[in-house]
């Protein structure tokens, strides 16, 4: 028996992975070319919550299928309409076992209307309901079902990293250097809570909690975990990450290491994961400060 839980369908533009050293020009913004490694595939992934295709005709189509095979028939039917482009979507099991699929379609070149697509798919008789929601504006469609968002079993919210960094900069303008202390404290609290809950839920401790955390924050889009070194005899660790959200964008105060929230997160994480009373953490290298990655030293 096939058991299905949920999935996202994502179609991204192909991003060329350059191996050259990233530019130092402020206007270059983010340095996505910096995250590729020879043996690891990492792909910029768009959550299927919002679809923007300038000047194209797009729509969100939603269907409820009683089982996976009904859903596959619908997907096959869409695929057979060669000029209807599936841009992405989500597939979720509803509580009673039925499946809800939501797809973003680009039908610009098909000659079809959203109503015709809805009618032709509905007429196949393999789904319980189907609806097509037109674009909110030309080329913009929004998923109407994804709420609440969950990371594992915890509710998550999403907003652009730029906004978060702008808020942190605003805090610095208002509070001066005290803002960085505040951000460190906030990160430390989060790291402590993360470690405490992970220990409780998984029964793991020490390094296992740390490694799980470094994997999870990458899956959450915080950064790419590049390297982790531990000297448990001396209780000294190094963590190396790339594209950390606090540091990956060029800023005016060049010459300063940028991470305070994540630095605090690591301190709280290691302290609780290893059951210690006090942990120090400094950022020894910073991607915002002429390094290719951010490196953190943690010690007791
Ligand atoms: Zn940094």
Cα(241) to ligand 1 centroid in Å equals: 9
Cα(10) to ligand 1 centroid in Å equals: 29
Q: Which of 207-216, 222-231, 245-254, 269-278 has the lowest mean pLDDT?
A: 245-254
For residue 17, pLDDT over 50 is answered with: no
What does the block give as tokens for 154?
Answer: 């915890």
d(CA 72, CA 91): 11
Residues 135, 254 within the same domain:
no
Q: Which of 100-109, 110-119, 193-202 has the lowest mean pLDDT?
A: 110-119
Is residue 105 within 8 A of residue 82, CB to CB? The reply is no
Residues 28, 63 within the same domain:
yes
Cα(287) to ligand 1 centroid in Å equals: 5
Q: Which residues surround ligand 1, an ion (CB under 5 A)?
A: 247, 258-259, 286, 294
Of 110, 118, 126, 15, nearest to 64 (Cα)? 126
Is residue 224 within 8 A of residue 206, CB to CB? The reply is no
For residue 148, cis peptide bond before it (omega within 30 degrees of 0): yes
| % residues pLDDT > 70 (the chain) | 81
For residue 280, pLDDT over 80 is answered with: yes
- Of 121, 147, 173, the last residue of a domain is 147
What pLDDT sits at residue 276?
Answer: 96
Residues 118, 68 within the same domain:
yes
What does the block give as tokens for 260?
Answer: 């305070």
Residues 189, 267 within the same domain:
yes
Residues 172, 113 within the same domain:
no
What are all long-range contacts of 164-173, with beta carbons under 8 Å and residues at least 24 apart? 164/245, 165/245, 165/246, 165/249, 168/246, 168/261, 169/251
- Of 147, 168, 201, the last residue of a domain is 147
Cα(259) to ligand 1 centroid in Å equals: 5
- Residues 172-198 have a mean pLDDT of 95
Residues 171, 227 within the same domain:
yes
More confident residue, 281 or 252: 281
**141 domain-assigned:** yes
**155 domain-assigned:** no
Cα(102) to ligand 1 centroid in Å equals: 38
More confident residue, 246 or 249: 246
CATH code: domain of residue 103: 3.30.70.260
**51 domain-assigned:** yes
Residues 141, 170 within the same domain:
no
Residues 40, 106 within the same domain:
yes
Domain assignment of residue 196, given as a range: 160-299
Residues 168, 260 within the same domain:
yes
Q: Full-prediction pTM beyond 0.95?
A: no
How many domains does one find in the chain?
2
CATH code: domain of residue 170: 3.30.1380.20
């Amino acid at each position: 028996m096939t058991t299905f839980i949920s999935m996202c369908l994502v179609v991204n533009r192909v991003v060329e992975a350059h191996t050259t050293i990233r530019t130092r020009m402020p206007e270059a913004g983010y340095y996505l070319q910096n995250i590729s490694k020879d043996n690891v595939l990492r792909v910029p992934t768009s959550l299927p919550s919002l679809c923007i295709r300038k000047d194209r005709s797009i729509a969100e189509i939603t269907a409820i299928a009683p089982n996976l095979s009904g859903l596959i028939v619908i997907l096959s039917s869409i695929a057979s309409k060669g000029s209807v482009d599936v841009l992405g979507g989500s597939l979720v099991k509803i509580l009673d076992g039925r499946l809800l699929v939501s797809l973003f379609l680009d039908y610009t070149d098909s000659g079809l209307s959203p109503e015709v697509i809805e009618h032709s798919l509905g007429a196949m008789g393999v789904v319980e309901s189907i609806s097509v929601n037109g674009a909110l504006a030309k080329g913009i469609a929004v998923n109407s079902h994804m709420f609440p968002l969950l990371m594992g079993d915890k509710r998550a919210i999403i907003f652009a990293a730029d906004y978060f960094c702008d808020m942190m900069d605003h805090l610095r303008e208002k509070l001066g250097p005290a803002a960085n202390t505040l951000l460190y404290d906030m990160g430390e609290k989060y790291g402590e809570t993360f470690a405490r809950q992970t220990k409780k839920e998984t029964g793991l401790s020490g390094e296992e909690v740390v490694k799980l955390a470094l994997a999870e924050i990458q899956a959450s889009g915080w950064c790419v975990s590049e390297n982790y070194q531990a000297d448990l005899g001396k209780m000294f660790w190094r963590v190396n990450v790339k594209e950390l959200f606090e540091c990956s964008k060029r800023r005016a105060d060049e010459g300063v290491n940028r991470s305070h929230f994540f630095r605090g997160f690591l301190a709280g994480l290691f302290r609780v994961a290893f059951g210690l009373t006090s942990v120090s953490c400094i950022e020894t290298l910073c991607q915002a400060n002429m390094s290719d990655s951010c490196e953190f030293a943690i010690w007791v």
